[in-house]
Amino acid sequence: MLNVVKIYELFELKQRGPLSVPIIETLQSWGLIANVNTLKSNKGHFLLLCPNVNSIDGFVWRCRQTSIDKMKCDFQQSIRKFTFFSKSHLSVYQIVMFAYLWTEQVSLEFIRKQTDIARQTSVDWASFHREIVFDGMIIRHKKIGGEGKVVEIDESKFGKRKYHRGHRVEGQWVFGGVERETGRCFLVPVECRDKDTLLAAITDWILPGTTIISDCWKSYDCLKDNGYQHLTVNHSIQFKNPETGAHTNNVEGMWRHAKASMTQYSKKSTSMQHTLESGARKFAMSY
């Protein structure tokens, strides 16, 4: 299993400078750098991995083929091109270590100390990682629930209104659900809690035939007409429906974990919304 010590050992404690062959081979095995016989020059020749003292990484992809007129192609390109490392001034070590620590949910302050990355650069890379997670979430998007399954749903407002020197900060509504049998979940930022908005999220994330448990919010009254079984619990009276046994303890627990995992948002409403949305996406992937 990958850990900080193994990353240190792999890079031989060198945060910067040319890469070694073992490092290149490891990055290839992780799918972060292309393998031999996979890249071609603009003339269709396969590129070889060659040492290059002028490259920040110590290697480049180069074409060594000779054409019919005995002229060497000598086409070359960075090993970073079309990879996770492209267009960055950071060393490969810094990027790999940042990615590992970020997935371990370590604070950005700690990551900066370990990688010697500037504050704004670390913020940019964290945002980039969140977008990658979201893209993966979309690609791997699988609906939860189905016949015989129970999904608890609820909405929660992240970021209560605060007043600071005359500036009002609005919160962000997030809609979510938890499948009881597996713990699989989803969180979706929503503009409002009306019937059309919530039903669209439900049909996008929950399979027909699911038994859905919610509170008595009026927007959910349409669920039985849209292919779902629907049980409710009136939270103004009790936490568990004494007749059906319906409760939403699991989704309530999800909110507690989600809010605890969110980073402190900016007092600017646009930044706050971005943080909440990206944080919700990251949490849903790891919950």
pLDDT at 269: 41
**In whole angstroms, what is the distance from residue 113 CA to residue 106 CA?**
11
What pLDDT band is residue 200 in, cutting at 50, 70 and 90?
A: very high
What is the per-residue pLDDT across 128-181, written as a single tens digit (0 to 9) for each?
887 777 666 666 678 999 999 999 999 998 775 544 444 455 678 889 999 999
What pLDDT band is residue 118 in, cutting at 50, 70 and 90?
A: very high
Strand partners, 232: 214
76-78 β-sheet, strand order: 48-51, 59-62, 76-78
**In whole angstroms, what is the distance from residue 30 CA to residue 41 CA?**
24
The dihedral over CA atoms of 177, 182, 183, 187, expressed in degrees to the nearest 10, equals: -40
Residues 6+ apart with CB under 8 A from 148: 209
**Residue 129 near residue 281 (C-beta atoms within 8 A):** no
pLDDT at 165: 47
Which ranges of the chain would DSSP assign to H, the alpha helix?
4-10, 21-29, 92-103, 108-115, 119-139, 195-205, 249-261, 269-286
Whether residue 220 has pLDDT greater than 70: yes
Strand partners, 96: none
Q: Which amino acid is at 192?
A: C
pLDDT at 221: 95
pLDDT at 270: 45
User: What does pLDDT average to over the chain?
Assistant: 82
Residues 6+ apart with CB under 8 A from 42: 75
Whether residue 207 has pLDDT greater than 60: yes
What is the per-residue pLDDT across 9-31, written as a single tens digit (0 to 9) for each?
777 756 677 888 888 999 999 88
Share of the chain above pLDDT 90, in %: 36
What pLDDT band is residue 278 in, cutting at 50, 70 and 90?
A: low
**Threshold 0.85, pTM exceeds:** no
**In whole angstroms, what is the distance from residue 115 CA to residue 110 CA?**
9
- Give the residue-averaged pLDDT of 205-211: 96
What is the per-residue pLDDT across 179-194, written as a single tens digit (0 to 9) for each?
999 988 888 889 899 9
pLDDT at 40: 87
Q: What is the CATH T-level fold of the domain 144-286, as seen in this structure?
A: Nucleotidyltransferase; domain 5 (3.30.420)
Which of 48-52, 61-65, 189-193, 195-199 has maximum average pLDDT?
195-199
Domain residues of the chain, as ranges? 1-15+91-141, 17-84, 144-286
User: 163-177, 243-257, 273-287 — which is least confidently predicted?
Assistant: 273-287
pLDDT at 164: 46
- Give the residue with greater pLDDT, 231 vs 102: 231
Share of the chain above pLDDT 70, in %: 78
